[in-house]
Each structure stands twice: as C-alpha cells, then as structure tokens.
Amino acid sequence: MNIWRGVVIIGAGISILGVIFHLQGQSVIGPESSFMYANPDWVSFGIQIVILGIIISAAGMSIKFIKRI
C-alpha cells in the first residue's frame, strides 16, 4: 500500500489552496464580495497554509524513503 502517495497528494492540495487564499488576500483572484478579497490577514494565512502543505508533502516523501531502507 502506498500511503505516502496519499499524504503527498493531500499536502499538494493544501498547498494549492494556500496559494489561492494568498492571491485572494492580495486581490488578484476571486469575487470582490468574498470576505477574503483584499484582506491582509489572508495574505499571511495563505503563506502559512502553503508552508503547512509543503511540510505534509515532505512527511509523505519521508515515509517513502524510510520504508525503502
């Protein structure tokens, strides 16, 4: 069973959502009626979510390499 692939895919999905939230906070994408649009809090939240997604993906890759040894 390849649990590491699932973890990496989940981490990548979280990272993509973080990028979307970051861009909405910067008024680049999204509807103007959104509470995230042009909100500086969501710029920093988006970056934090991207970092979390990268950490989760790295954990998935680590599982792959640990099981190899």
Report CA Rg, the chain: 15
State yes or no: pLDDT of 69 exceeds 90: no
What is the distance in angstroms between the CA of the first residue and the CA of the last residue of the chain? 16
Q: What is the pTM of this model?
A: 0.89
Asked if 49 and 61 count as a contact pair (C-beta separation under 8 A), the reply is no
Rounded Cα gap, residues 52 and 17, in angstroms: 11
The predicted pLDDT at position 13 comes to: 98
Tens digit of each residue's pLDDT (9 = 90 or more) over 5-62: 999 999 999 999 999 999 999 999 989 898 999 999 999 999 999 999 999 999 999 9
